[in-house]
Amino acid sequence: MNGTALQVAVLAASSACTMPAAAQQPAATPAPDNAPFDVGQLFATTCGFCHSDGGRAPGRGPQLMDSPRDDDFMRNRIKNGKEGAMPTFGAAFSDAQIDEIIKYIRSLKPREG
Ligand code: HEC
């Protein structure tokens, strides 16, 4: 049933291997605002554990596609998390990156074919 998510994870892992070692940043350092920021990849790894299929399906967390929540609610949830439910990501992402994440969520469409 969850073959798609697995495929995405495998694809993401294999494309990460093509990065030259020198270009890799230590994982704990937030990327600068102008660095390429791949939200799809983020959802395949960090967020996908709880928001399945790139946010299209519920997991431990709610489905994000077609969310009735407004942008402020999402920004607050991503920054501050929710105790016992969702981790805090305020230190991991800049405001610009959180904007990217919200834009990604708003553009989610059901997969076709
Ligand atoms: C450990 C599980 C977990 C992880 C990892 C996680 N979330 Fe969540 N997320 C949740 C849960 C549970 C909720 C609902 C919290 C509540 O009850 O309001 C939530 C809510 C949200 C919401 C608000 C939508 C709504 O309808 O409540 C957004 C936006 C969101 N998450 C984005 C993200 C993003 C982006 C990431 C990755 C950077 C992420 N989440 C990672 C569990 C998780």
- CA dist., res. 57 & res. 29, Å (int): 29
pLDDT on residue 106: 98
Percent of residues in the chain assigned helix, strand, coil, to nearest 5: 45, 5, 50
Domain boundaries, the chain: 3-19+37-106
pLDDT on residue 15: 45
Nearest Cα residue to atom 38 of ligand 1: 47
CA of 105 to the centre of ligand 1 (A): 12
Tokens 């969520």 -> residue: 105
Closest approach atom of ligand 1 to CA 69: 26
CATH architecture of 3-19+37-106: Orthogonal Bundle (1.10)
Quick check: CB of 77 below 6 Å from ligand 1? yes
Over residues 60-108, the pLDDT tens digits come to 999 999 999 999 999 999 999 999 999 999 999 999 999 999 999 999 9
pLDDT on residue 85: 97
User: What is residue 92's three-state secondary structure?
Assistant: coil
- CA dist., res. 68 & res. 20, Å (int): 41
Quick check: CB of 89 below 6 Å from ligand 1? yes
- CA dist., res. 47 & res. 42, Å (int): 6
Q: What is the reported pTM?
A: 0.77
Quick check: CB of 74 below 6 Å from ligand 1? yes
Quick check: CB of 93 below 6 Å from ligand 1? no
Over residues 3-56, the pLDDT tens digits come to 555 555 554 444 444 455 454 444 555 555 556 789 999 999 999 999 999 999
pLDDT on residue 5: 54
pLDDT on residue 36: 74
